[in-house]
Each structure stands twice: as structure tokens, then as C-alpha cells.
Structure 1
Amino acid sequence: MSETLHIGKTLQRIIKNSKILCLVDGEHYPPVTKWALDHLIKNKGIIKALFFLGGTEKVENAFEELKSKRIDYRIYKSEKNKKIDFELFEEILKTKELDIVVDLSDEPVLDYSRRLKMASLSLKYEKSYLGSDFFFQPPQRSKILKKPSLSIIGTGKRIGKTAVGVTVARLLKNKSFDPVIVCMGRGGPEKPEYINIEKIDISAKTLLEVVEKGQHAASDYWEDALLAGVSTVGCRRCGGGFAGNPFVSNVIKGAKLTNSLKNKFVIMEGSGSTLPPVRTDQNIVLVGAGQSLRKISGYMGQYRLMLADLVIVTMCEEPIADEQKVEEVYKSIKKVNPDVDIALTKFRPQPLGNIRKKKVFVATTAPGKIRDKILNYLEKQYSCEVVGYSKHLSNREKLRKDLDKNLDECDILLTEIKAASIDVAAKKAEKMDVDIIFMHNEMKLTGGDIKNLNEAILNIGERAKRKK
């Protein structure tokens, strides 16, 4: 067998005793396809069905030729104008008797794009997807939460996931959902750490003390606790796969901890494009309007969209994304998940303290091209004077240079919560006797399918409750 089966010992072990749906086409001679099926059987794979994708290059009646008296399997066939019937594929995947999809097709029937769509649909229904030299398995989604829950899932980094998480938590808190947030940052604690907001008053001083202890004071669970005013559980993860599975994490332990807390609702917050390895009742998926369409609705971005109960598109404004780009993003999401509600939004800074009539230094991660909108909004909305600005919270060296220019002329350092905002900016402000005020990036609805963003988010929370 080793002379002809080229998938390697690891993938051979995966096939063994698995219930298989095979993807086949008419570009291969039917006897060759049957020969491949024989090898799957010799490897103790259990073939339950074939899905004929199309193609009649080798023989006109390939579909009929694929029927076999030697193997008991059903054959499904695409009938959609000679294109792959993805709706039929989904119906097949819903059957509980299947474990894995084995791809025996090739170009031109399955190109990169269509193959990744087949993989994403397989993972959506928690079936593995295996081919000649690749293997996608569904991200872990452990059923351990005993309370109503939702996940906040991102399609990338730097698209406002923490800001959205804070907004969601605030809304649920104000409506007596009593939420706790479980975070999974790349700088999280070795053991899950519970921040009880009722027993600790979080301030700039608190975070500076955390830094002094050698800990990561800007980890998401500290940021969420301070900005949202809710209790949090801090976890860590390393690595992230195509479909969002972390390589290693302590999130399962962190999620289990929530079962013993008095909080009544759980928010699982992803990290970048990595998903929480825990099943929740609802999923909010976050998309950045400035991302490429391929990343949003192609590759494995489409898998994340398939999981969505609500999609929030952030940064829907120029110069990040013009009206045409936002419309393209909207349509690309609908193409993947036609029934999902989409909220188009933009961010505006919201200080957590009084900056009225003050001279302010603003530190943020927002790109320089949106600088003027942020500064003009702050000066108009809060009647302050912006004297200094830095977009370099992710670059300590450049941040220090920006602070050196004119922090000494300011009354207040107004900053997002990032690592450098604590161990560089806040430290310097404290030494110079400049007050430190943190800010939240508040979502503003700009369009989409819904009229009221707050109501849409609260509806997601109510749906999660009903599922329990």
C-alpha cells in the first residue's frame, strides 16, 4: 500500500475507522477513482457516500461509471448548471453518520478558492477535511459552559475586538445579565486569573503596580475589567490555526471557572482571529472594513462568517474604507451567510474621565490616516485642546519620542490600554505629574441591516438565554 498511497502515515491513521464522504469528479477516469476508493478501504476507511462534483473530461458518463457493486455507498451529484452544488454539500454534511470528508478531486473542478469553501463548510458541521497533503480539523468547541453565553470572534488583528467586547459587556451589565468575560490573550497569565470587579478598584495606579510585579498589565482581561466595569477571567494562548484553533491555551480551565462564579452570563472573547475553544450559545463575528475581501470572505474567514449570529463591521469610514469598499465588504459577507444581520460601524473615543477645558496628549493605535477625525471629535465633543498625539502604542521607541515632544505641555494623558500605554506612557506621565485617563473606543452605527445596534446586541444575549 505504501507504494501507491502518498498521504503519509499520520493521515492514514486519521482515515482508519472513519466514516467517509469522498469528493470525486469526472476529470479522473472512473476506474482510477475506484482504485483510490479501494485504497481507502484497505486502510480501513468506511466509505459512506460519494459527492460527484462534476467534470466529464475523461468520460461522458462518469457519474454512472462511478457506481460500484463492490462497495455500498450513496452517490450525490451536483445539478446546479454544472457547478458545484454547495447547498447539497451542506445537506450531506448535516448527516450524523459522517466523520470526515476526503478530497479525491483536483484542478480544474476544485481550485484553491472552491477547495477552501468545501473545507470551511466541512468545519462548520464539525467534519474534518482531508486531502493529498492537507488536513483541516474543526476547532475545539468544548461543551463546558453551564450558563448562557456568547463568543466574540475576530477575522483578524487590530479591528477593534476588545472595544466591541467592552461595548457588549457594558450593555449586558446595564440590562442585568450580570456578565463575566473570559479573555485569551497572547500575554495572559500562566494560570487563569479571576478579576473580581467588586473587590478591586482598577485605576492607572493599579495597572502600574501590576507592571512593577513583572506582569502584563495591558492584557485583555485587565482592559476589559477597567473599561467595561465587569469581572473577568484572564487566560493565555499560543498559536492560531487557519480556522482559529489555538495551539495551546488554558482557556478550558478559565471557562470552567465561570461555572462556579455567581455571574449569570459568560462572554468568551477571542484573540485576533483565534477562536475560544469553547462552545457558546451565540457568536458575534467582527470584521474590519479595511481588511482585504479575500481575508474576510475567502480563505478561512468564511468559516468564521458561517458561525455568525451577528456580524459587526468596524472602521466603516474614509480613509480606511470608502463607501464602495464598505459595500463590497457587506455583499461579500452576505454571499457567505445570507441570513445574518450586519451592523456597519465606526469608532469614536470615549474618555473615562473629565477632560473638559484640559490640554490633552492622545495615545492610540489608530492609524495616522484617521488622526484628524479622532482629534477633531475629541475637541468638539469634550471641549478640550489636543496638544500632543501618538499613534505608536505598539512601538515603544516611537512612542517615547512622541511623548518627549510635548507631554510636558499637557494636563492629561488620554490613552487606550495597551502594554506600552502602561509601562511607557503612564510611567512617564506619573513622573511628570500628568493625570492619566483611559479611553474606550465606542461603536457608532453607520449602516447595515439593523436600526439600533444596542438592541441587536441585547437580542443576541436574549437568544443565548433561551438556548439554555
Structure 2
Amino acid sequence: MGNGPVIALIDGEHHPPAVRDTLDRLHVARGVAGVVFCGGEEKVSADALDHPVTHYGREVLSGVAPEDGLRELASGGDRPRATAVVDLADEPVLDPAARLRLAALALHLGLSYEAPGMRLTPPPYAAVPFDGRTLAVIGTGKRSGKTAVAGHWAELLRAGGADPVIVCMGRGGPAAPQVARAGVGVEALLRLSDRGAHAASDYLEGAALAGVTTVGCRRVGGGLAGEPGESNMVEAATLAAGIASGALILEGSGSCIPPVAADRTVCVVGSRSIDGLDRYRLLRADICLTFGQVEPARPTIRIELRPEPAEPLPQDARVAVFTTGAERCEGVTPVFSSRNLSRRAALSEDLDRAVAEGCDVYLTELKAAAIDTVAARARKEGARVIFLRNRPIGIDADLDAALLGLYADG
């Protein structure tokens, strides 16, 4: 357990005298800033909630949703400001999903969440001095579209006169922050790959496709609330702040959140269901971008990613397309398509098929095995590599206006 005043969560499945004794001990040890009644009536009478001081020895906030009660008490007012939420409730009032929703809210409010056998702390966010706007793109999982959104946002800002830099945190990023200049090409990436580097890292994708400078860094591990186990992103953001003008864009990795304070945040919600502490990521966002009917507790824009060649294809080219999952590409009728870019064994067989089909252009996403396998094979076969980009398009709202608005309001 930590230190400092706490907000306690209780329920009506426990007898009030038992709860009172525990609250009294908790108050002596740490201080009780407030109590939220989360429901249940098996062992609590209406009188106990009408006169909580008599039964619980202190005021108890009841008659509201637990989330609303937690928000109210966390706001402080004339009460001691809490540092943690201590969950003294249990099933059936709070099942595991409900408890994790409350934990996510607690973390968002800057409070630790404590329950028997578990303590969650809010992820730290370092302040990196920068004269412009610091923007973050986070997601609920791997390959949710963060890189596409970050790159698109950077392009919009560049068109408006800014000189943004994207800071990309990845599991294959460099040991020391590395700058990639706009327009890095296939040959440069192959040279990196030949030296043993991960040449399809997100920061290289951003530099190649978004046309802006990027800074790459790495992270290892990821907590349930998105905190990296280890990361050099603070150093990378500090480096980028000395290069950028107008905007820094911090790109998360998988479901990990950049450990740097941001003025505005966009969360890209992947196709899987929202559960566990995913809600924490949604709560951090000013806008959520979704691919389906997910209804996060934030303003939401439905989007789709439209794959398209980053440059014109030669006429009469025999095109092989390589993606991590996209089923089609705008304006392209390929001779052969592979969705195995992240599955190397199957990808090797697909490349053999592309060679057998006489493909002379390999149109590939800049991800996974794009450079060390696809581009390397293209070099061997004398084929040309063209990158495939995923452009985010708003379905039910103007995505570009929303992104520019966040920047202006930041």
C-alpha cells in the first residue's frame, strides 16, 4: 500500500460495522478523504445510507454511479486531496470488468488504484520543453493505424506552414535516438538492414512516407496501462524538440503510451474489443478514431485506412502487393497479393510465387519484413520496390479539420 489520503470504494454486500472498522484503521494509517458506495443491499439498510456517519463513522457518497462518485471526490473541494483509490468492494457489485473500468478512471485522475493483491500507479509523463504544440498518437494495440495517423497529421501541419517532427517509439527502434530525414529511400533502408538494423521501424516509415523528419527510439515491455518497461523516448523527444518548428508528434508503440507530456492526444482504437485498462487510453484522448461501432467515452470519428501507392506505378507493370493484412489497394490490380508481411515463413513462399509470376514491381507496406525480406528479394530479382501507404479517411466527420483543430487548440 502507498501513502497519503485515499478514496475508499465500498459496497452493500459487507456488513457496515465490518467496513467501518476497516475504514477506521485505514484512516489512522493514511487518512480517508472520501468514501463511495458502489451498490448492493444484501447487508446494508436504507438507514445506513441515509445516516452514514452513524453506521460508517463518516460521510459516504451514495446514489450516484461509482465513476461519477469517484470523479466528484477526486476533485478535492474542501476535502484532503486523495492520492489513491482503495477498493474495499467485491463481486457481485463490482465484477473484474467494472473494477478495471474504475481503475482506469483512477489512473486518469492521477490516483493509484489499490485492491487486495494489486496496486496500479499512473504512468509518468515527462515534461519536454518545446515552443510549439506537443501532440500524441496512441492506440489500443499493435497495427491499429497509429503510424498512418501520425504521418497524415504531420503532412497536414507541414502544408499549413509548420515543420513537424515525429518521435516514434518502437520495439525494434535504435538503442540511441536516431534522426531520419524526410524522403529516406529503399537503398538507404537496405544498407541499414545489411548492417543488422530493423529497417522497417516506424520512424523510418514516417520519414519515407510522410515527408517529414522523424526521430526513432525504442521501448521494451509494456504495462497494462501503457507504461513502457524501459524506453529512451524522453531523450528522443528532447532531441526532436531542437529540430522541430511548430509541432512535435509523439507516436506510441503497440498499446504503449509515449512517456512524455502532450498538449493533445488522439487514440486510434483497433478492431478488437475494448476491455481491461484500454479505457485508460480512451480517457487520455481528446479524439478517438475508430474502425467500427465502438463507442468510447470521448468524441469519436469513424475512419478507414485506404492503401495507395506512395508514387505512380509504371505503366504495364506486373505488380505484387505485400501487406500485413490490407485486402486491396486503391487503383491497383495486382498480379499477385500477399498478406503475410509479418509471417516470414509464408512470406518466403509468396515471394517465390511473385517471381514465378514475373512480377517486376513489389508494392509493399513499410512494416515487418518489408526491407530485410521483400526489398532484399527484389534487389536479387531486379524488381523495383514501391512503398504502399495507408491514408486515413474520415467516414462520418472531417478528419483533417479535426486534427488541425486539435493542433490549433493545443
In structure 2, what is the Cα distance between the partners aligned to 1:54 and 1:218?
51
Q: Give the C-alpha shift of residue 62 in structure 1.
A: 2.8
Identify which of 160, 164, 181 aligns with 2:166: 181
Which residue of structure 2 lines up, in the alignment, with residue 245 of structure 1? 227
Shift in Å, 1:231: 0.9
Corresponding residue number in structure 1 for 2:305: 347
- The match for 2:331 is 378
Kept after mapping to 1: 8 A contact 2:135/2:248? yes
Quote how far apart the aligned CAs of 1:41 are. Answer: 4.0
Which of residues 279, 286, 291 is equivalent to 2:261? 279
Which has more helix, going by share of residues?
1
* Aligned equivalent of 1:382: none
1:397 aligns with 2:345: yes
What is the match of residue 8 of structure 1?
Answer: none
Partner of 1:362: 321
1:150 aligns with 2:135: yes
What is the SS of the residue equivalent to 1:460? helix
Report SS of the residue matched to 2:91: coil
How many angstroms does 1:279 deviate by? Answer: 1.3
* Paired residues of 1:361 and 1:407 also in contact (CA < 8 A): no
Quote the Cα distance in structure 1 between the aligned partners of 2:17 and 2:354: 76
Paired position in structure 2 for 1:322: none
Offset at residue 118 of structure 1 (A) = 1.2
Question: Out of 197, 209, 212, which is 2:191 matched to?
Answer: 209
Paired amino acid for 1:194: V
Of 270, 290, 294, the match for 1:313: 290
Q: Structure 1 pair 26/69, CA: closer, same or farther in 2 (3 Å)?
A: closer
Residues of 1 paired with 2:342 and 2:352: CA distance? Answer: 17
Deviation per residue, 1:34-90 (Å, 9 max, x gap)? 221233245x3122222222333223133356527997x6x242224xxx3422321
Q: How does 1:317-336 map to 2 (within 5 A)?
A: 326-327=292-293, 329=294, 332-333=295-296, 336=297
31-40 vs 169-178, greater mean Cα deviation: 31-40
Aligned: 1:445 with 2:394: yes
Change (3 A) 1:262 1:119: closer
Once residues 411 and 221 of structure 1 are traced to their aligned partners in structure 2, the CA distance between those partners, rounded to angstroms, is 27
Cα deviation code 1:274-312 (max 9, x no counterpart)? 101111011111012x322xxx2x321222111221111
Return the alpha-carbon distance in structure 1 between the equivalents of residues 387 and 174 of structure 2: 22
Contact 2:48 2:55 in 1 (8 A): no
Cα distance per residue 1:303-361 (max 9 Å; x no partner): 211122111113xxxxxxxxxxx34x2xx32xx23xx1x22122222212221422111
* Contact 1:30–1:66, Cα closer than 8 Å, also in 2: no
Asked if residue 291 in structure 1 is aligned to residue 272 in structure 2, the reply is: yes
Pairing 1:263–2:245 present: yes
Distance 2:75 2:164 in 1: 33
Pair 202,40 (structure 1): closer, same or farther in 2 beyond 3 Å: same
Letter aligned with residue 102 of structure 1 = V
Helix, strand or coil: the match of 2:157?
Answer: helix
**What is aligned with 1:77?**
61
- Return 5+ residue gaps in structure 2 as ranges: none
Task: Tell me if the contact between 1:412 and 1:435 (Cα under 8 Å) persists in the aligned partners.
Answer: yes
Contact 2:144 2:269 in 1 (8 A): yes
Query: Is this contact kept in 2: 1:351–1:439, CA < 8 A?
Result: yes
Task: Report the TM-score, using the length of structure 1 for normalisation.
Answer: 0.82
- Of 19, 40, 47 in structure 2, the residue corresponding to residue 55 of structure 1 is 40
For 2:5, the equivalent position in structure 1 comes to 19
Decide whether the 8 Å contact of 1:34 with 1:66 is kept in 2.
no
- Equivalent in the alignment of 1:107: 91
**Residue correspondences, number:** 403
Contact 2:341 2:367 in 1 (8 A): yes
Cα distance between partner residues in 2 of 1:404 and 1:359: 15
User: 1:238-260: per-residue Cα shift (whole Å, max 9, x none)?
Assistant: 11111111111111111222332
Correspondence for 1:116: 100
Instruction: Determine the C-alpha separation between the residues in 2 that align with 1:210 and 1:263.
Output: 28
| Alpha carbons 2:163, 2:245 under 8 Å: kept | yes
- In structure 2, distance between residues paired with 1:66 and 1:29: 13
Is the contact between residue 173 and residue 179 of structure 1 (CA under 8 Å) also seen in structure 2? yes
Amino acid at match of 2:133: P
Instruction: With the length of structure 2 as denominator, give the TM-score of the two structures.
Output: 0.93
Q: What displacement does 1:366 show?
A: 1.3
Q: Which amino acid aligns with 1:350?
A: E
Deviation at 1:141, TM superposition (A): 1.6
Question: Are the aligned partners of 1:23 and 1:102 in contact in 2 as well (CA < 8 Å)?
Answer: yes
| 1:353 match: secondary structure | coil
Distance 1:347 1:259, change over 3 A: closer
Pick from 415, 429, 432 the counterpart of residue 364 of structure 2.
415
SS at match of 2:20: helix
SS of alignment partner, residue 347 of structure 1 = strand
Distance 1:246 1:140 in 2: 10
Aligned to 1:387: 335
Q: CA RMSD in A?
A: 2.0
For 1:88, the aligned partner's letter is: G
Shift of 1:104: 0.9
Structure 1 residue runs of 4+, over 6 Å off? 68-71
Taking a change above 3 Å as real, the CA distance of residues 34 and 267 of structure 1, as seen in their structure-2 partners, is same
Q: Which residue in the other structure is 1:304 paired with?
A: 281
The amino acid across from 2:360 in the alignment is D
- Which amino acid is the alignment partner of residue 378 of structure 1? G
